[in-house]
């Protein structure tokens, strides 16, 4: 940026001296009466946290270039095939113009989605559903429509790392309530919530089953949350992306709770349900009419959700009722394998997750960020290594998660066993091991 100086008496060397903290490009020399000032980005841009899931990607790419096989347990990208019927519906689309859909999403898709929810015991109609660009947009819409800049949202930690990013985008302050690996990441006591509730508190966010911990909230825990949002007049945002994948116990949706229709917002996605992460189509669901009207304005501002993904999602709803049985059994086998292998390694503790396809493990290491980078930069076993997600990125409280990692069991059992062989060997060789 060029700024006009006070006059010809202020020459370039003088300005360079006075503004030594600024970068002075030589391109400004032809403009003797102007000075160059470095452009700055927004505070919001500076505050956006990096993804703990993706920040180590350059190291993984470098390892692969060296010929090292990398087992990806860092990200929830399942290897389960996307249903053929859903892919075929996209391939066979015969429209001549790829036009905008309704801002709320195709009515045919929303009606089918309402039917899907009814089968899950969730009574909503198509007018109470807004189709979004992935579950991420549903969460952002919730933050933007329910809270003003400076308002606070309570989230049990560790939590899905991008909640932090969404909060920064919306100017919302995250108030974490810490759950413990020793209790399997059960819902913290209600007293812990009430300690941080202020006049600025507007909502509580839960992910059920949970990412990153795999914890499945019980019906009793959901009732505790119900009483809390009633008492303090709060919204309850429920991220239920992993609803189908519950291995012990039954899933209790936030929309199963009675008497709190205006308080509850369901955030959903097809990414994990149908192994269609790249489709980027989700849903914002609520019975709160005023909130729907406000959210619709945000939906209109971005015009429409993805057209092809809506076709895919609509076709997927027609899958037979037993579609998830095989997938769920496969994930359960993977879970059982990885938890057994982890807990057999000296110094490692991994609670048994009740759902989703993630596990959190405590390792005998000094620093999970350093360890996960070291695995990719400096370690290999049989020309193989494993990529994990450091748990520090899933906590909002500084210093937590330093000896924890998240593992996504989204690869087959043989690959999981090979990855665990690598991890066991790595923990023996790591310079920062603590036992």
* Tens of pLDDT, residue by residue, the chain (435 residues): 444 554 444 444 444 444 455 454 555 555 556 666 789 999 999 999 877 778 899 999 999 999 999 999 999 999 999 999 999 999 999 989 999 999 999 999 999 999 999 999 999 999 999 999 999 999 999 999 999 999 999 999 999 999 999 999 999 999 999 999 999 999 999 999 999 999 999 999 999 999 999 999 999 999 999 999 999 999 999 999 999 999 988 999 999 999 999 999 999 999 999 999 999 999 999 999 999 999 999 999 999 999 999 999 999 999 998 999 999 999 999 999 999 999 999 999 999 999 999 999 999 999 999 999 999 999 999 999 999 999 999 999 999 999 999 999 999 999 999 999 999 999 999 999 998
Query: Of 217, 395, 151, which Cα lies nearest the Cα of 226?
Result: 217
CA–CA separation, 397 vs 226, rounded Å? 25
pLDDT at site 317: 96
Give the pairing type, strands 264-269 and 282-285: antiparallel
- Exposed (0-12), middle (13-18) or buried (19+): which is 42, by Cβ within 10 Å? exposed
In the chain the domains, ranked by start, together with CATH numbers, are 2-40 (no CATH), 48-80+324-429 (3.90.1150.10), 84-316 (3.40.640.10)
Which residues are within 8 A (CB) of 395 and not within 5 positions of it... i.e. 6 or more apart?
157, 158, 176, 178, 401
pLDDT at site 21: 52
pLDDT at site 10: 43
pLDDT at site 30: 56
Which residues are within 8 A (CB) of 254 and not within 5 positions of it... i.e. 6 or more apart?
206, 208, 222, 225, 236, 238, 240, 264, 266
Neighbours of 26 (CB within 10 A): 7
Of all helices (H) and strands (E), which one includes residue 168? Answer: helix 162-170
Backbone angles phi, psi at 72, to 5 degrees: -90, 100
CA–CA separation, 259 vs 261, rounded Å? 6
Q: Are 434 and 347 in contact (CB under 8 A)?
A: yes
Q: Are 412 and 79 in contact (CB under 8 A)?
A: yes
């Amino acid at each position: 940026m060029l700024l006009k100086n006070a006059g010809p008496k202020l020459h370039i060397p003088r300005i360079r001296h006075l503004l030594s903290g600024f970068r002075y490009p030589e391109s400004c020399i032809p403009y003797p009466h102007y000075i160059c000032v470095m452009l700055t980005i927004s505070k919001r841009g500076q505050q956006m946290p990096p993804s703990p899931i993706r920040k180590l990607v350059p190291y993984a790419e470098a390892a692969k270039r060296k010929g090292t096989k990398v087992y990806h347990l860092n990200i929830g990208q399942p290897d389960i095939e996307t249903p053929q019927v859903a892919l075929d519906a996209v391939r066979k689309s015969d429209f001549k113009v790829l036009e905008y859909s309704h801002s709320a999403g195709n009515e045919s898709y929303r009606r089918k989605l309402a039917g899907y929810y009814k089968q899950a015991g969730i009574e909503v109609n198509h007018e109470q559903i807004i189709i979004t660009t992935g579950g991420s947009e549903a969460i952002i819409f919730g933050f933007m429509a329910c809270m003003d800049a400076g308002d606070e949202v309570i989230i049990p930690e560790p939590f899905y790392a991008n909640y932090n990013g969404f909060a920064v985008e919306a100017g919302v302050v995250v108030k974490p309530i810490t759950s413990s690996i020793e209790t399997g990441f059960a819902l913290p006591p209600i007293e812990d919530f009430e300690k941080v509730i202020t006049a600025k508190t507007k909502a509580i966010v839960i992910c059920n089953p949970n990412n990153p911990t795999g914890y499945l909230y019980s019906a009793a825990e959901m009732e505790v949350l119900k009483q809390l949002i009633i008492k303090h007049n709060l919204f309850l945002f429920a991220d239920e992306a992993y609803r189908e994948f519950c291995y012990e116990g039954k899933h209790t949706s936030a929309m199963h709770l009675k008497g709190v229709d205006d308080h509850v917002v369901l955030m959903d996605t097809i990414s994990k349900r149908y192994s269609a992460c790249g489709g980027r189509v989700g849903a914002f669901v609520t019975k709160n009419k005023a909130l729907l009207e406000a959210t619709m304005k945000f939906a209109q501002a971005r015009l429409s959700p993805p057209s092809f993904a809506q076709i895919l999602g609509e076709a997927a709803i027609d899958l037979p009722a037993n579609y998830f049985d095989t997938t769920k059994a496969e994930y359960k086998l993977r879970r059982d394998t990885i938890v057994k292998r982890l807990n057999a390694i000296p110094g490692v503790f991994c609670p048994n997750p009740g759902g989703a396809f993630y596990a959190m493990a405590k390792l005998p290491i000094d620093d999970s960020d350093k360890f996960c980078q070291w695995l990719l930069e400096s370690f290999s076993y049989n020309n193989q290594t494993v990529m994990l997600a450091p748990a520090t990125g899933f906590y909002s409280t500084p210093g937590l998660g330093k000896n924890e990692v998240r593992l996504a069991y989204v690869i087959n059992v043989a690959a999981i066993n090979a990855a665990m062989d690598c991890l066991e060997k790595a923990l023996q060789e790591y310079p920062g091991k603590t036992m």
